Amino acid sequence: MLRYAITTFGCQMNVHDSERMHGVLRGAGLSPVEGVAEADVVVLNTCSVREKAEQKLRSELGRLAKLKRDKPEMLVVVAGCVAQQEGEKLLKASRGVDLVVGPDNIAELPALLEELGHGSPPLSRTVFDLEAPRFLTATSLASGTVTSFVTTMKGCDERCSFCIVPYTRGPERYRSSDEIVAEIAGLCDRGVREITLLGQTVNSYKDPSGLLPRAPDADASDPDESEFAALLRAIAARVPALLRLRYTSPHPRHLTPSLIRAHAEIGILARHVHLPVQSGSDRMLKRMIRRYTRADYVARVARLREAVPGVTLSTDLIVGFPGETEADLEATLSLVEEVGFLGVFGFKYSPRPHTPALKLGDDVPEAEKSARLARVFALSESLLARHLESLVGTRQDVLVEGPAKRPLEAGGERATFTGRTARNEIVHIDDPAARGLVGEVVTVPIVRSLKHSLVAELEPALRARASERAPHQPKARSLPLVR
Ligand code: SF4
């Protein structure tokens, strides 16, 4: 039996694609191994959203080329966004690559590997499935876990000036609502209790089957309106076992009144939204072609806060975009403070091929980009620390997800369990009895705050109930580490 290993670079979308590859390869009779040294087929699922990720790929390919000298029969597959971006060029530019396969061609992996096995020269398959989009279900790894991801759409029509995604993932294509609901129901049958809907602009969703009942206040005359609110309502109504529903990543312009109302009315919808803003400066937002102003963004957040008191927000930010001045950065910092983001995924701008921003140059020195990013992180960390401290002494509803990666106390041996509140605060329960609560939402007292999370205790009654209950037995995800 052939053995394979997958290494994943980049975003959640890629992690989910790797799960699909696991499903496809296992379905074809291959078996997974942890290390590339034992593998007959090595898949690098790549990311091209930043230059650094591409550099990592190049060094990994160099390492594999050396390994291949002693093991010439080993097949090296490059998948993901760099595969889509470079296509056949990768075969010429990189020694030792046998197969280049784009994100829409994962289902073809076994057939392509078979061709190689029959002596075919290196192959490249990077064709978008525009006519009949395929959404492979990632069935291989979800069983036994409490949280899972479900894809609702792929591609992006936005064309932000810095972003390579529309080039590597193609135009927007949506999955039918029935298929999405059925996948979620199936996952809940296997013990999943929290779903995160995935899409590049997840809230631009439109049901290709046309079966979704309209959301009560959907405004057909609003160009930003979509059927996302209707999808959320359908999931909540048709999958009663689901305890939490999240989504990522929305585009701010599709945070419409119908979606805000859905947030107010759907009990299982998380009270947290990750809403990428990218900059707090209107000048930068315009150059980035984000299609909203700072005031638009703030107004939408205010309406969301009014509808869902206590909702928390996190965001994506880019520093050092071409032409960014100190004043632009200060506008970003003031927005972080004004909105009170409790999580910031900040990045230094890096020019990407095929993007409109290339012609703007790259005029902010690297050291200055790093310094600006450090200022953004320092501010967001202080906001998070203040928020977490304010929760000490309160009681919070926590969905217990499973064992923590490591014990809470350094060097400790006590099993720690981890979960999250609906507002996305991470909560550790440093008590082995919490094993019996995995998959449940429980109310626990918060006893202290850490840098990025909270610590809760089990009260005696809950502890006794937890000790009696058969554990949910979550399995550790066998996905490779994301680089
Ligand atoms: S919305 Fe903009 S940043 Fe997000 S994937 Fe689309 S083009 Fe890229």
The full DSSP string for 307-365 is: HSTT-EEEEEEEES-TT--HHHHHHHHHHHHHHT-SEEEEEE----TT-GGGGG---S-
Q: How many C-beta atoms lie closer than 10 Å to residue 461's C-beta?
A: 8
Query: To test the ligand 1 pocket, which listed residue (81, 201, 279, 354) has its Cβ within 8 A of the most ligand atoms?
Result: 201
Residues 75 and 121 placed together within one structural domain of the fold: yes
Distance between CA atoms of residues 47 and 7, nearest Å: 11
Strand order in the sheet with 147-151: 147-151, 194-198, 244-248
Q: Which of 293, 22, 276, 13 is nearest to 169 (CA)?
A: 13
Dihedrals phi, psi of 279, to nearest 5 degrees: -160, 155
Residues 228 and 374 placed together within one structural domain of the fold: yes
- Say what the pLDDT of residue 50 is: 83
- Say what the pLDDT of residue 410 is: 65
Binding site membership of 274 for ligand 1 (Cβ less than 6 Å): no
Model confidence at 139, pLDDT cuts 50, 70, 90, reads low
- Say what the pLDDT of residue 415 is: 67
Name the residue with tokens 């993901």.
80
Residue 442 forms part of a structural domain: yes
The domain that contains 8 carries what CATH number?
Answer: 3.40.50.12160
* Residue 39, CA distances (Å) to 2, 79, 193, 298 in order: 8, 16, 34, 50
Atom of ligand 1 nearest to the CA of 251: 1
Question: Above 50 in pLDDT, residue 479?
Answer: no
Residues 405 and 374 placed together within one structural domain of the fold: no
Binding site membership of 317 for ligand 1 (Cβ less than 6 Å): no
Residues 175 and 37 placed together within one structural domain of the fold: no
Distance between CA atoms of residues 101 and 286, nearest Å: 35
Burial category of 210 from C-beta neighbours within 10 Å (exposed 0-12, middle 13-18, buried 19 and up): exposed
Residues 322 and 340 placed together within one structural domain of the fold: yes
Mapping DSSP to helix (H, G, I), strand (E, B) and coil, where does residue 83 land? Answer: helix
Residues 38 and 160 placed together within one structural domain of the fold: no
pLDDT digits (tens, 9 = 90+) for 83-108: 999 999 999 888 889 999 999 999 99
Identify the weakest region by mean pLDDT among 121-135, 172-186, 205-219, 248-262. Answer: 205-219
Binding site membership of 163 for ligand 1 (Cβ less than 6 Å): yes
DSSP one-letter code for 437:
G
CB 195 within 8 A of CB 184: yes
Domain ranges, residue 447: 395-468
Question: Above 80 in pLDDT, residue 144?
Answer: no
Residue 166: which residues within 8 A CB-CB, separation 6 or more? 155, 156, 157, 158, 159
CB 414 within 8 A of CB 407: yes
Question: Above 90 in pLDDT, residue 481?
Answer: no
Residue 249 C-alpha to ligand 1 middle, in angstroms? 9
Binding site membership of 406 for ligand 1 (Cβ less than 6 Å): no
Look at 430 and 425; give whichever has higher pLDDT: 425
Binding site membership of 251 for ligand 1 (Cβ less than 6 Å): yes
Distance between CA atoms of residues 191 and 200, nearest Å: 27
pLDDT (mean) for 305-319:
98
Model confidence at 206, pLDDT cuts 50, 70, 90, reads very high
Question: Above 70 in pLDDT, residue 277?
Answer: yes
- Say what the pLDDT of residue 149 is: 94
- Say what the pLDDT of residue 448 is: 95
- Say what the pLDDT of residue 231 is: 98
Distance between CA atoms of residues 232 and 262, nearest Å: 8
Atom of ligand 1 nearest to the CA of 156: 6
Distance between CA atoms of residues 200 and 155, nearest Å: 6
Cis peptide before 249 (omega within 30 of 0): yes
Atom of ligand 1 nearest to the CA of 201: 1
pLDDT (mean) for 126-137:
91
Distance between CA atoms of residues 390 and 387, nearest Å: 5
Model confidence at 130, pLDDT cuts 50, 70, 90, reads very high
pLDDT digits (tens, 9 = 90+) for 3-32: 999 999 988 888 889 999 999 999 999 999
Look at 181 and 47; give whichever has higher pLDDT: 181
Residue 250 C-alpha to ligand 1 middle, in angstroms? 10
- Which of these three, 339, 365, 388, is where a domain ends? 388
Q: Which of 475, 287, 283, 315 is nearest to 379 (CA)?
A: 315
Dihedrals phi, psi of 435, to nearest 5 degrees: -55, -35
Distance between CA atoms of residues 307 and 339, nearest Å: 16
Residue 451: which residues within 8 A CB-CB, separation 6 or more? 381, 384, 385
Distance between CA atoms of residues 307 and 336, nearest Å: 21
Residue 299: which residues within 8 A CB-CB, separation 6 or more? none
Question: Above 60 in pLDDT, residue 414?
Answer: yes
For the chain, the domain total comes to 3
- Which of these three, 388, 418, 438, is where a domain ends? 388
Look at 434 and 479; give whichever has higher pLDDT: 434
Binding site membership of 200 for ligand 1 (Cβ less than 6 Å): yes
Binding site membership of 201 for ligand 1 (Cβ less than 6 Å): yes
Residues 446 and 303 placed together within one structural domain of the fold: no
Name the residue with tokens 């009260």.
459
Residue 130 C-alpha to ligand 1 middle, in angstroms? 19
pLDDT (mean) for 317-343:
98
- Say what the pLDDT of residue 474 is: 46
Binding site membership of 166 for ligand 1 (Cβ less than 6 Å): yes
Residue 289 C-alpha to ligand 1 middle, in angstroms? 10
Residue 348 forms part of a structural domain: yes
The domain that contains 404 carries what CATH number?
Answer: 2.40.50
pLDDT digits (tens, 9 = 90+) for 357-412: 999 999 999 999 999 999 999 999 999 999 999 999 999 999 999 998 877 776 66
Binding site membership of 255 for ligand 1 (Cβ less than 6 Å): no
Residue 219 C-alpha to ligand 1 middle, in angstroms? 24
Mean pLDDT of the chain: 92
Residues 194 and 244 placed together within one structural domain of the fold: yes
Atom of ligand 1 nearest to the CA of 249: 4
Binding site membership of 281 for ligand 1 (Cβ less than 6 Å): no
Question: Above 80 in pLDDT, residue 476?
Answer: no
Amino acid at residue number 25: L
* Percentage of the chain lying above the pLDDT 90 cut: 81
CB 336 within 8 A of CB 280: yes
The domain that contains 213 carries what CATH number?
Answer: 3.80.30.20
Q: How many Å separate Cα 4 from the centre of its chain?
A: 24
Q: Which of 183, 151, 184 is nearest to 169 (CA)?
A: 151
Residue 461: which residues within 8 A CB-CB, separation 6 or more? none
Residue 161 C-alpha to ligand 1 middle, in angstroms? 9
Question: Above 90 in pLDDT, residue 148?
Answer: yes
- Say what the pLDDT of residue 412 is: 64
Residues 401 and 262 placed together within one structural domain of the fold: no
Query: To test the ligand 1 pocket, which listed residue (49, 50, 160, 205) has its Cβ within 8 A of the most ligand atoms?
Result: 160
Query: To test the ligand 1 pocket, which listed residue (200, 224, 355) has its Cβ within 8 A of the most ligand atoms?
Result: 200
pLDDT (mean) for 230-256:
97
Question: Above 50 in pLDDT, residue 480?
Answer: no
Residue 232 forms part of a structural domain: yes
Identify the weakest region by mean pLDDT among 130-144, 235-249, 283-297, 393-407. Answer: 130-144
Residues 87 and 157 placed together within one structural domain of the fold: no
Residues 163 and 270 placed together within one structural domain of the fold: yes
Question: Residue of the nearest CA to atom 2 in ligand 1?
Answer: 160
- Say what the pLDDT of residue 385 is: 97
Mapping DSSP to helix (H, G, I), strand (E, B) and coil, where does residue 118 land? Answer: coil
Residues 381 and 416 placed together within one structural domain of the fold: no
- Say what the pLDDT of residue 478 is: 38
Dihedrals phi, psi of 106, to nearest 5 degrees: -60, -40
Residue 288 C-alpha to ligand 1 middle, in angstroms? 10
Residue 162 C-alpha to ligand 1 middle, in angstroms? 8
